[in-house]
Structure 1
Amino acid sequence: MTAHIAVEHITQVFTGRQAPLTVLDDVSLSLAAGEFVVLLGPSGCGKSTILNMIAGFTPVRQGRILCAGRPVKGPHPSRGMVFQQPNLFPWLSVLANVTFGARMAGRKKAAADADANAWLQRVGLAGFEQHAPWQLSGGMKQRVALARAWLPDPEILLMDEPFGALDAQTRMMMQELLRAAWKQTGTTILFVTHDVEEALFLADRILVMSARPGKIVEEVRVPFGPQRDIETLAQAPGYSDIKQRVLHRVRTEARRHML
């Protein structure tokens, strides 16, 4: 069966005034349709670079990337992106922020507003449609960003540490919201994080990356099933062993990066 996302032998070298920097070294990975995969690894290992290449923001120099069997040659509405910062337009309302991309693409305002209102209700922001971003908390802003990313009904959602700037309680709520939305939509998700517990709660699979130059050094299949509960997951059989295994590998790579 054709992978929904296929990254094949990607090597990425950044050049500038300094010596060339190899960020990724012969990276290959694949995601099945509807799968939730987490990329985990030390800072600077190329996790965000992989997302940007799949999104079409960064050109592929060596190797190739396929989405639904088609080479990635640039950004496309079938691939959505959520960043660590929500990047909302401060002069637009919540509703206008969510529908901005759809309206720029020529979609009718009434249809875009109706779908946006449905998404705002799904992420718990019904009643905030006409609020300005400055009136929202950090978690609420990131929920707006989620609604905006999902409004075009993307086949693939790329998420670059979207909850990294949130407090612990808000972060857990956002993780639960994300899993609920993913189960409803069946979107293929590739999610970057540094947090092992976040990875274990969210993922079908975890791909651990080495220190720079980044490579996939370990794959961990998460066995806890689709109905996992964030409050009780730590009590699941095997959780402590898997967490220790993943944490040890990530810490080993992080230490290697600092030597």
Structure 2
Amino acid sequence: MLFNPSQWLLRYPAALRPSKLVRLASDFRLFGNLAHGLIERHFRRDDALTMPDEVFERWFARAFEALVDEEGALLRMPGRGADLAHFRGRLLRAVYTLRSHVRQAGVVAVVPEQALEGRFEGGALAGYADLVLHKAAGAPAIVDIKWSGGKKYPEKLRRNRHLQLALYAELFRQQTGQWPAVAYYLLDRARLLAPDDRAFPAAETIAADDGENTAQLWQRILATWRWRVAQIRDGRFEVVLEATSAAATADSEPPQEALAIEMLDEAYNDFRALAGWRDGA
């Protein structure tokens, strides 16, 4: 709705849906889903924070094989042995490193897939945070887990455009009265990225170039939403195409207090064929 209102219009008010034919997941999505599942299983254990590393490694070996059997059978096919071994090694390193960050941060409780609910000017909001970490002292933290994105997510933090984390943080604030620290964890490189070090002393800190924080980002999200709502009430839904397409009009320029328009990845737009093509495309 913020960056490509026509996509929001077709998905929600128009309720168009892509085909329900079963499609095989890409390796990128499959690895991400399996990794999320294993991390959730680990931190739901009562002994997750006290488990010695050697015990964790034995648990990982059993849990990984069971998870692949249940949800990743594609990796058992002939010719996928190297892919499976490579994925196992990267995931073991990632979870091992994540456990180290949790210990160094003094975390006393981890809640995976925590439901977060709240409201804003437009109505109800809800989501599930990958990990919510509570500490004996200091602010709690929300960690969004991604399989990869070594260029994308550092840039989001640098530009103060971590919208998903900002939404989770606002919902958490509504529920608890506290602004949590936020971070991304990139599994394929075992990298913990944060805008500051107030929750994770060993994280890679990437401060926003404009000096703004997550609370200020939330205010920019609201300003952008109000701008789009005003257009929609006038019956106008902007169709945002590739940066090389037709020039934007004056109505495409957000107000100063809003977010700069971000070009969304067309690979995740189920309706791009309905938006038209550029000449010669």
Q: Which has the higher strand share?
A: 1
State whether TM-score is above 0.5.
no
Q: TM-score, normalised by structure 1?
A: 0.33
Select the structure of larger CA radius of gyration: 2
Structure with higher RCO (Cα < 8 A, 6+ apart) = 1
TM-score (norm 2): 0.31
Which structure shows the higher helix fraction?
2
